[in-house]
Amino acid sequence: MKGVSKPKAEVLPDSALIPESQFVKPAPSRFTHRVRRVQAFYLQKPDESEKRAGMLAKGEALVLLKNEGDGIGQFANGNGLILFTELAGVERRSPQ
């Protein structure tokens, strides 16, 4: 197409992959919590040196796996990704 530029393809290093151990299988189909606002998530329990892995969208459904204390929860999302995020930014869903 005229006027459309295609970005150059780039192969990411293996370190860019999320390990299989970071996923729950099968992925959850029932959820306990919903994200209240856009907020960061981490693949490891966060500390001062931990870089965020991404952002959770407002309204995203999660299942609580473990309350880690210190205001952090371990969750799984709809893709089965195990992640950590602040409990203050999520709310309990009403039973379905």
pLDDT tens sequence across 16-57: 888 899 999 999 999 999 999 999 999 998 887 888 999 999
**pTM of the predicted protein model:** 0.81
**Assigned CATH class of 20-92:** mainly beta
Confidence of residue 1 (pLDDT cuts 50, 70, 90): low
What is the reported pLDDT for 50?
80
Distance linking the first and last C-alpha atoms of the chain = 48
- Cβ pair 86, 75 in contact under 8 A: no
Residue boundaries of the structural domains of the chain = 20-92
